[in-house]
Amino acid sequence: MGNVLIIGAGAAGSVAAKKCAMDASFTKIHVASRTLSKCEKIQKECVRPISISQLDADNTDDIIKLIEQVKPDIVVNLALPYQDLTIMDACLATGVAYLDTANYEPIDEAKFTYEYQWPYHDKFKEKGIMAILGCGFDPGVTNIYCAYAQEHLFDEIHYVDIIDCNAGDHGQAFATNFNLEINLREVTQRGKYWESGEWMEIDALSISKMIDFPGVGEKKAYLIYHEEEESLVKNIRGLKRIRFWMTFSDNYIKHLDVLQNVGMTRIDPIKYEGMDIVPLQFLKALMPEPSSLAENYTGKTSIGTIIEGIKDGKQKKILIYNVCEHEECNREVGAQAVSYTTGVPAVVGAKMFLQGKWAGKGVFNVEQLPATPFLEEVAKQGLPWHIKELEVGLGD
């Protein structure tokens, strides 16, 4: 055990490959992507030899052929969310474990949900293999913070607020820290949160508040929908409300407003000089690659989970969090912190599987798996976590 196939050679895929190469648990590492030049760059920058290949991850048959050639113990999917199902189908056909960091999203609809992947549970169970969903940071580490709190820190959890701040500066007029197409689809869709047993929808970016982020200070954060809410509602007992908050600079909001107003965030094809083009995909081609931002990035990310509930009959409120420095990530693996905080948990999740600390047959979200060994390892791998006691409020 120790042979890993990483599909995707973007910013997070690069981090995952380099971290795997630093860890003796991974005996063989293969990176595959549609763009071979990205794989070649990663191959040159790894501390030990890895193998690479070109792959169309939209084609299940091509993925099956590569899996049969590489013979991995686990496939780590760091490609686009559109490709989750083709990769899961290939893992089913070959009997190989699967792990991803983001749930499936149809290319023609800005809607991410686990309703496409959860139905694979029985198929994976019958095949006797494991699929691990959402093993990035958020979703991923934030889910595991909740699982750890449920197991060790609370008798009942009532309120969860996931908070995500990138207080870094990449020096660009406008750029996104991960795939621009996915980023803008996520931000421009209607917001949503869960309260009192039902989902509440709001206009995009219509609710905001100031949040004191550890290591960063007070920043304005917006309520948006994020996929980990969907699984945590199922797996955190006694939950009364869950929300997700993310910061965006005034400059980002200004650019986003203009892009929306002129139609550049549209995901439906339009005719241009006789060709079908998708405005958002065209915009992506104009923007800097997220992996190119690392060199000049300064500042920190601060991501965590505010949890409120009952312990020993008393109200209790805590924040479990990580602070990550862009410059330190660049020194270690040539990446900015947003890519680092996605790629490292994927590596740790794969390591948990290889070591038998995460085991099962079927499809699992990460909060359903043992939290303590993961958190111990993710801290060693560069993402230490901390617990801060907060003043008990009313869940606000």
Longest Cα–Cα distance of the chain, Å, equals: 68
- The radius of gyration of the chain from alpha carbons, rounded to an integer in Å, stands at 20
Domain range holding 329?
141-335+385-389
Contact of 366 with 132, CB cutoff 8 Å: yes
Burial of 165 (0-12, 13-18, 19+ CB in 10 A): buried
Q: Give the Å distances, CA to CA, from 319 to 36, 259, 272, 373.
A: 42, 35, 50, 20
pLDDT tens figures, 227-248: 999 999 999 999 999 999 999 9
278 and 148 within one domain = yes
154 and 117 within one domain = no
Q: Is 208 domain-assigned?
A: yes
Helix then strand count (H, E) for the chain reads 13, 18
Q: At 44, which CATH number?
A: 3.40.50.720
Contact of 304 with 211, CB cutoff 8 Å: no
Contact of 139 with 147, CB cutoff 8 Å: no
pLDDT along the chain (396 residues), means of 10: 95 97 98 97 98 98 98 97 97 98 87 93 98 98 98 98 93 76 82 96 95 97 96 97 94 83 87 88 85 84 98 97 97 96 98 98 98 98 98 70
Residue 192, φ and ψ in degrees, nearest 5: -160, 140
pLDDT tens figures, 352-371: 999 999 999 999 999 999 99
Number of domains in the chain: 2
Q: Is 75 domain-assigned?
A: yes
CA–CA separation, 53 and 66 (whole Å): 9
Q: Is 342 domain-assigned?
A: no
Q: Is 368 domain-assigned?
A: no
- Provide DSSP, 331-361: HHHS--HHHHHHHHHHHHHHHHHHTTSS--S
DSSP state of 149: I
Q: Is 359 domain-assigned?
A: no
Identity at 125, one-letter amino acid code = K
102 and 27 within one domain = yes
Q: Which residues pair with 170 in a beta bridge?
A: none
Contact of 293 with 175, CB cutoff 8 Å: yes
323 and 188 within one domain = yes
Residue 178's pLDDT is 67
Other CB atoms within a 10 A radius of the CB of residue 18 amount to: 22
Residue 291's pLDDT is 72
121 and 228 within one domain = no
Q: Is 202 domain-assigned?
A: yes
Query: Which residue, 246, 255, 278, 260, is CA-closest to 172?
Result: 255
- Which tokens hold the place of 354? 């290889």
Contact of 55 with 66, CB cutoff 8 Å: yes
146 and 129 within one domain = no
Q: Is 363 domain-assigned?
A: no
Residue 110's pLDDT is 75
236 and 198 within one domain = yes
- Provide DSSP, 255-296: HHHHHHHTTTT--S-EEETTEEE-HHHHHHHHSPPGGGGGGG
Q: At 216, which CATH number?
A: 3.30.360.10
246 and 222 within one domain = yes
Question: DSSP 3-state assignment of 325?
Answer: strand
